[in-house]
Amino acid sequence: MAEKKVGAEEIFKEFKEHSISEFFRKNRQMLGFAGKVRSLTTVVHEYVTNTLDACEEAGILPQVTVEIKNTGEERCLVKVTDNGPGIPKRLIGKALANVLSGTKFHRYMQQRGQQGIGAAGCTLFSQITTGKKVHVRSGTDKEAYECDLGISIKDNKPVIENLAELSKGNFKGLEIQAEFAGVKYENSDHGVSEYLKRTALVNPHIAIKLIDPEGNTLEFPRSVNEMPQRPRQIQPHPLGLEASDLLDFAHVTESRKLSSFLIESFARVTQNKINELKELVPDIDLSKEPRQLSWDEAEKLIVAFKKIKWIGPELDSLSLIGEQRVGAAIKNILNPEFQAVVERKPKVFRGGIPFVVEVGVAYGGNAGKATAEGASGNILRFANKVPLLFDGGTCGISEAIRGLQWKRYNIDDFEKSPISILVSVCSVYIPYSGVGKQSVAQEEEIMEEIRLAVMDSLRILQRYLSGVRQRTTAETKYKTIMRYVSQLAADLGELTGGKSETIEQSLRSLIENKYKKIFEDESEIKG
């Protein structure tokens, strides 16, 4: 019997539109809520990164308290309190309960959060696992209030209940309290305490207090009382732009000429560069309106951009850890036998987005991961001064390091060596491979900079390891020779008729002078 044909109307009768909240309700693992330990760490990560961004923008030295209580089996109450600028009452719903709303995604400046998903994702996660709303207290310079927040999943709208005014001045900052199911507190390399420890290490201006489910208090005190350089919003760099980027900017600009549009919309474009463009693309009228730019013309401009020698992107948009602080972080975490730090010059990747790679390598001491056989190589990943504890296998940072030829740097096997490599990527926009923001996408420009930075640091380590091997060989020879000095002096005394004590003293002085320089050179390398 022939099957009945189905028409288009029948096929598409179930066609419906869905909100972004509905999508993430079914795909919460994309927000980082996958696995009990990871889910709890993700919640803390989202709230703490928001605190850091808000405090730094407001010029406030951040102080945050994270309190976690077990409320049942695989169920925790999380309360995060900070001393930040707070959130105005009129924006509280959009800030914490409206997915894809925020102050960050559209700005060309470095920030930890960038998608407008994190805190709202936590509100959604609490709601779908416990059915409870998030309780919020906020105090700004002008007002103080508290309320309960939820999300209308069907239309991705905030639901605000029990809104009440608080006495102004009694509370300043933000306090979020939410309950989550399907989570677990654990002291491990992927747990909340490790996340906060690494956060404190690369953000020494923050003071963090953690109260765990057992009532134990762990504090990471502020180690510097100076705010890091505040990033400045900048324009995208011409290198790294694609045709679609150029057209998007062209269609919203208020400039009347294509030439002035390029100068006003992108970094490092001057009249001299416009003159160079005229020679490279003589068939494009740079005096016409930007909105008249065609796709083919945009592609030609992108090709021409790559033929021009540009000044590198501005660093004002970035807030780096800094070589000194990377070195201090390595020393505090690992107390290694040897360490080296390298900071690369700023580069750009697609979209004209600037980025900088900082790398530190540590060898010996507590470097590497402890194993039954001793230690194995370890990669510490950071993006915009936020630790990345998960998804290392797919991360562009890890992938860039895996392909290195370790023996070239006197390391026989990375997986069996006491070595740690700290890699920090800072950018206006980190290309994460997922909205959970735990893995940097494998962008070739970024991976190449990571490889070059790591190789630079490994060459410094190589010189140290070569010196160590030279010293070891010299020490062996020194001890062997010194073992026979007395006998040699006695034999020479008999042959020459001289005093064996005098001969022995001369021999020892000669040998020590020969090996003294080798030992001193090794000490200088290590220092």
237-260 mean pLDDT: 88
Q: Read off the pLDDT band of 238 (50, 70, 90).
A: confident
The reply to whether 166 and 103 lie within a common domain is yes
Residue 471: its pLDDT value, please?
66
User: Dihedrals φ, ψ of 513, to 5°?
Assistant: -65, -35
Write down the H helix ranges in 335-443.
396-402
- Examine residue 162 and state whether it is found in any structural domain, yes or no: yes
- Examine residue 312 and state whether it is found in any structural domain, yes or no: no
- Examine residue 225 and state whether it is found in any structural domain, yes or no: no
CA distance 299 to 82: 48
Reply yes or no on whether the pLDDT at 145 is more than 90.
yes
User: Dihedrals φ, ψ of 22, to 5°?
Assistant: -65, -40
SS (H, E, C) 21-55: HHHHHHCHHHHCCCCHHHHHHHHHHHHHHHHHHHH
CA distance 347 to 98: 34
- Examine residue 154 and state whether it is found in any structural domain, yes or no: yes
| Cβ(417)–Cβ(338) below 8 Å | no
The reply to whether 362 and 500 lie within a common domain is no
The reply to whether 449 and 492 lie within a common domain is no
The reply to whether 298 and 418 lie within a common domain is no
- Examine residue 237 and state whether it is found in any structural domain, yes or no: no
- Examine residue 231 and state whether it is found in any structural domain, yes or no: no
The reply to whether 120 and 147 lie within a common domain is yes
The reply to whether 508 and 401 lie within a common domain is no
CA distance 432 to 520: 47
Residue where one domain finishes, among candidates 276, 305, 334: 305
The reply to whether 331 and 445 lie within a common domain is yes
State which H helix or E strand residue 151 sits in. Answer: strand 144-152
Residue where one domain finishes, among candidates 429, 463, 497: 463
Residue 525: its pLDDT value, please?
47
117-123 mean pLDDT: 80
More confident residue, 14 or 168: 168
The reply to whether 62 and 170 lie within a common domain is yes
Three-class SS of residue 123?
helix
More confident residue, 261 or 9: 261
CA distance 515 to 187: 49
- Highest mean pLDDT: which of 58-67, 99-108, 498-507? 58-67
Q: Read off the pLDDT band of 217 (50, 70, 90).
A: very high
The reply to whether 77 and 164 lie within a common domain is yes
pLDDT digits (tens, 9 = 90+) for 302-344: 999 989 988 877 766 677 888 888 888 788 778 898 999 999 9
CATH code, 83: 3.30.565.10
Counting the structural domains of the chain, the total is 4
Reply yes or no on whether the pLDDT at 267 is more than 80.
yes
Domain limits at 496? Answer: 484-526
More confident residue, 163 or 497: 163
State which H helix or E strand residue 176 sits in. Answer: strand 173-181
The torsion of the CA quartet 325, 330, 333, 334, rounded to 10 degrees, works out to -160
pLDDT digits (tens, 9 = 90+) for 179-209: 999 999 998 888 999 999 888 888 888 899 9
- Examine residue 311 and state whether it is found in any structural domain, yes or no: no
The reply to whether 59 and 107 lie within a common domain is yes
CATH code, 432: 3.30.230.10
- Highest mean pLDDT: which of 226-235, 382-391, 492-501? 382-391
The reply to whether 299 and 441 lie within a common domain is no
The reply to whether 154 and 297 lie within a common domain is no
- Examine residue 15 and state whether it is found in any structural domain, yes or no: no
Instruction: Provide the sign of the torsion angle of the four alpha carbons 359, 413, 440, 85, taken in this order.
Output: negative
